[in-house]
Amino acid sequence: MGSEGCLLVMVIDIHPQLAEAEQHAHTYLDACISFANIHLASNVRNTLAVIAANHQDTRFLYPSTTEEQDKRQKDGRLELLGLVDDSIERELRSMVVGKHQGEQTESLISGAIGRGLLYIKRQETEDILSKRVHARILVVKISSDTGGQYLNYINNYLSAQKIGTAIDVCLVGSDCGLLQQGADITGGCYHCIHEITELLQTLIMMYQADVATRKKLNTPAPEAVDYRAACFCHRSLVDMGNVCSNCLSVYCKAVPLCTTCNVIFQTDRPMKIGKKKK
Amino acid sequence: MRVDWVRQGREGYCIDEIIHCNHFTTMIQEEDDPKEYRWESGYEKTWEALQEDESGRLEPSVTEMIQRAKRRKLLEREASVRLGIMRHVYVILDLSQAMNEQDLKPTRQICTLKILDDFIKEFHDQNPISQLGIITTQNKMAKRHSDLSNNPQRHLDCIKKMHKMPCKGEPSLQNSLEVALSSLKHLPPHTSREVLIIFAALTSCDPGEVGATLQKVKEGNIRVSVVGLAAELHVCREITKETGGSYSISINDLHLKQLIDEHLEPPPASVKMDHTLIKVGFPHQVNADAKPALCMCHLDDLPPLNTQGYYCPQCTAKYCDLPAECRVCGLMLVTAPHLARSYRHLFPLKHYSEIPLEESSAKLCYGCQKIFITGAADKYVYKCRNCQQVFCFNCDIFLHETVHSCPGCASNPTLSQTPTNN
């Protein structure tokens, strides 16, 4: 935890499938908000940003963009916590209440991570007193992935790695290879739980410590991440593939024409006599 | 043979390197047509570029100039040309007597080596499937210090050793080009072959005619670029013109870094490049019958045996770090994120349209939530043409230089599913 604060950007998935079981939605949101409060209360210099993502939109829940009235704290706890709670509740309400058009596809987490990265970059440029802003992103996800946003995710991971931001991932439900790769690339922690009631406990135990403190804790070693690429024709992972030299698309077997960039491949021709091959 | 005199020492009134280069490059463009010598042209009043605003402060004017220069660089890069992604680059470093000069502090040699250090790291970061090699030239000879490889550690060790090498003698352009040619010409035709020469001397001592080597270089389809530290040389100008490379002279150390970093981006592909399918392996970290083994990249150091590492899918040799070329079977080993690092060049982020703050209805930046204040810093805001979201200047630069993917488009359910996401 240290004396310099840490900026925590929470990316919360509020996909409509949460609404299927009402109790689940309450537990889930309570856990997230409680964790945000714990983060702020543990060090006076900690700062917070919360971004919510559903299948239609992403929105900053805190710091909030809409005006609010000054409310005085009546119950004696830290004013900032009350402000955070109110802001999150207000913005969530306006985000969720509304027409839900279109099919319910995956949540737009990559967009939320992108906005979080820009917010962190702004803190770095504005905070001239400290040498470095320690920032991390925590992604709490409940819906499943289709893999159509691979490029967005990878670009975000590589930029997070460049600016030294770790992306921690806590999944409720099934494993997601893409997010696991992201946590590995940026040096974050990846975990998947199966019961939503375990969420708050997992968040406190595994994700409260920031990256510097984690080195002093005795955490279990991360398991090997599968970094194989998926071939463009079948979307299955390949061990050895053929890569187009123009557009870098991966194919599992030799094809005469690249479907992405429409370039015809020169297949092996009889070599001219006298020309040495490498 | 006409030599243009060096443009060093004309600092003028410059606050920031970008302002100076900004003004300087416009001066060069103006003077290309009249073929007069530098000292015959008019007085360079660089201080007039800065204007005070109403309160008498210079800072808004400076910020505006920096912003304009950065944006201009971004716009120049955009063009949908085919790029040579798989690059084989030789860096030819001049370690002749001229590198002992102290116009770059502490000496030209140390300054250049430090810049090359950063260049090598950035190069392997941005071009993970490309290969780099280092050649030095001194005492009328050329020596290959480090073969073409995609492991940055070897090159960095080489550079460290070069700090202590004394610089003496004369460089030889022909010999160094011959050394580079000897290994570049055997490469398969789908790769982009490049040579970057960092030249400080004003002479070159060659055993024969440079023209003959230049002809061979042209036939080998190699692109030669030169970054000069002293003055412009006709022979370098000819070489770069014939092979399609770039030639620039640095005016100080920051400018030298900028010129060398321009070569981090893949150049446009030459027309003669064939395209083929390259066999690539994606190693997995888990091997069912793994026994503790040595990793192939540290055969000389002999670290303790362990089972952690990446196993080549063809020959199960172990490597602790990727990307690598398998020493046993010759298969190129990369991971999917390494390939994805090159996608930024293939699927670039189109630049945003610049609109004045008054015309946009957005009150804050979509990315960083900064509230727009009317003033010099937020005079223009940037709007993505696909998702219509508005970003501030800093977010615009960060997105185009580092991230290469628009969060507005990623937050839009209809736009986020397209593969190119432009």
The mean pLDDT of chain B is 80
User: Closest chain A residue to B331 measured between Cα atoms?
Assistant: A240
Q: Which residues of B touch A60 (CB under 8 A)?
A: 369
Output the pLDDT for position B198.
94
Instruction: Using a CB–CB cutoff of 8 Å, tell me whether B153 touches chain A.
Output: no
Which string of b and e fits B185-202 if b means at least 16 CB within 10 Å? Answer: bebeebbbbbbbbbbbbe
Q: Rounded to whole angstroms, how far apart are CA atoms B114 and A49?
A: 39
Find the residue in A nearest to B87 (Cα).
Answer: A245
Contact call for residues A139 and A107 (beta carbons, < 8 A): no
User: A76 vs chain B: nearest CA distance in angstroms?
Assistant: 30
Q: What is the distance in angstroms between the CA of the first residue and the CA of the last residue of chain B?
A: 48
Neighboring chain A residues of B394 at a CB cutoff of 8 Å: 121-122, 125
Calpha distance A169→A137 (Å, rounded)? 8
Chain B contact set for A258 (CB, 8 A): 275
Cβ–Cβ gap A225/B364 under 8 Å: no
For residue A176, the model assigns a pLDDT of 86
B343–A151 C-beta distance less than 8 A: yes
Enumerate residues 38 to 67 of chain B having a beta carbon within 8 A of any beta carbon in chain A. none
Q: In chain B, which among 86-115 make CB contacts under 8 A with chain A?
A: 86
Whether B341 has a pLDDT exceeding 90, the answer reads no
Euclidean distance between CA atoms B282 and B337, whole angstroms: 11
The shortest C-alpha distance from B47 to chain A (Å) reads 28
Identify whether the C-beta of residue A142 lies closer than 8 Å to the C-beta of residue B389. no
Instruction: Please report the pLDDT score of residue A107 as a whole number.
Output: 85
Q: Point out the least confidently predicted range of B30-44, B170-184, B347-361.
A: B30-44
Name the least confident of A26-30, B136-140, B345-349: B345-349
Q: How far is CA B47 from CA A121, A224, B21, B254, in A?
A: 33, 58, 13, 20
Q: Which of residues 341-370 of B touch A (CB under 8 A)?
A: 341-344, 346-347, 364-370
B387 touches chain A (CB under 8 A): no
Give me the percent of chain A exceeding a pLDDT of 70: 87
Task: Specify the pLDDT at position B14.
Answer: 32
pLDDT value at position B13?
Answer: 26
Residue B10 binned pLDDT confidence (cut-offs 50, 70, 90): very low
Residues within 8 A of A (CB atoms), B 192-231 only: none
pLDDT of residue B195: 93
pLDDT at B374: 80
CA of A240: which chain B residue's CA is closest? B281
B280 with A227: Cβ contact below 8 A:
no
Provide the pLDDT confidence category of residue B31 given band limits of 50, 70 and 90.
Answer: very low
Cβ-defined contact of A181 to B419 (cutoff 8 Å): no
* Average pLDDT value for residue range A235-256: 82
CB contact (8 A) between residue B186 and residue A278: yes
Of A200-209, B33-42, B179-188, B343-352, least confident by mean pLDDT is: B33-42
B268 to chain A: closest CA residue: A246
Nearest to A228 among B282, B346, B394 (CB): B282
pLDDT at B134: 94
Residue B12's pLDDT band (boundaries 50, 70, 90)? very low
Residue B135, helix vs strand vs coil: strand
Q: What percent of chain B has pLDDT over 90?
A: 27
pLDDT at B303 over 60: yes
Nearest to A110 by CA among A13, A28, A35, A187: A13
pLDDT at position B422 = 32
Contacts of A99 (CB under 8 A, 6+ apart): none
* B337 contacts A185? CB cut-off 8 A: yes
A38 has pLDDT over 90: yes
pLDDT category of residue B406 using cuts at 50, 70 and 90: very high
Single out the residue of A233, A235, A234, A257 nearest to residue A244, CA to CA: A257
Closest CB to A111: pick one of B279, B337, B416: B416
Higher-pLDDT residue of A127 and B229 is: B229
The Cα of A181 is separated from the nearest Cα of chain B by a number of Å equal to 9
Using CA atoms, how far apart are residues B307 and B290, in angstroms rounded to an integer? 6
**Most distant CA pair in chain B: distance in Å?**
77
Strand partners for B325? B332
B188–A contact, CB cutoff 8 A: yes
- Using DSSP's 3-state secondary structure scheme, residue A11 falls into strand
Q: Is the pLDDT of residue A136 over 90?
A: yes
Distance separating alpha carbons of residues B107 and B47, to the nearest angstrom: 29
CB B110 within 8 A of CB B159: no
The predicted structure's pLDDT at residue A5: 81
DSSP states of B385-396: TTT--EE-HHHH
Q: Which residue of B has its CA nearest to A150?
A: B419
pLDDT band for A71, please (50, 70, 90 cuts).
low
Residues A17-35 have a mean pLDDT of 87
For residues A140-158, give the mean pLDDT. Answer: 85
Partners of residue A158 in chain B, C-beta under 8 Å: 337, 340-341
Instruction: Tell which wins on pLDDT, B9 or B92.
Output: B92
Count of CB pairs separated by less than 8 Å, A with B: 195
Determine the pLDDT at residue A268. 57
The torsion angles phi and psi of B246, rounded to 5 degrees, stand at: -115, 150
Q: How far is CA B159 from the centre of its chain?
A: 18
The pair of structure tokens assigned to A141 is: 């996800």
Instruction: DSSP for B35-55, please give it.
Output: ---GGGS----GGGG----TT
pLDDT value at A134 more than 80? yes
Q: What is the pLDDT of residue A15?
A: 86
pTM of the model: 0.82
- Please state whether the peptide bond connecting residue B337 to the residue before it is cis, i.e. omega within 30 degrees of 0: no
Residues 366-385 of B with CB under 8 A from A: 366-370
- Cβ-Cβ contacts under 8 Å for B278 (sequence gap 6 or more): A242, A243, A244, A245, B86, B190, B332
Q: How far is A35 from chain B (nearest CA, A)?
A: 23
What is the per-residue pLDDT for B271? Answer: 66
Give me the residue from B339, B403, B410 closest to A248, CB to CB: B339
Considering only A66-75, A243-252, B152-161, B300-309, which range has the smallest mean pLDDT?
Answer: A66-75
Q: How confident is the model at residue B42 (pLDDT cuts 50, 70, 90)?
A: low
Average pLDDT score over residue span B177-206? 89
List, as one string, the DSSP characters of B311-353: E-TTT--EESSSSEE-TTT--EE--HHHHHHTHHHHSPPPPPE
Residue A62's pLDDT band (boundaries 50, 70, 90)?
confident
**pLDDT class of B114 with cuts at 50, 70, 90:** very high
What confidence score (pLDDT) does residue A101 get? Answer: 66
User: Cβ contacts (< 8 Å) between B283 and chain A: which residues?
Assistant: 239
**A99 — pLDDT class (breaks 50, 70, 90):** low
The answer on pLDDT for A130 being more than 70 is: no
Nearest neighbour of A65 by CB, restricted to B191, B369, B406: B369
Q: Is the pLDDT of residue B34 over 80?
A: no
Please report residues of B whose CB lies closer than 8 A to that of A114. Answer: 367, 403, 405-407, 410-411
ipTM: 0.87
Q: Is B80 on the interface with A (CB under 8 A)?
A: no
Q: Tokens at residue B174, please?
A: 């022909």
Q: Cβ(B295)–Cβ(B320) under 8 Å?
A: yes
- Under the banding of pLDDT at 50, 70 and 90, the label for residue B144 is very high
- Chain A residue with the nearest C-alpha to that of B270: A246
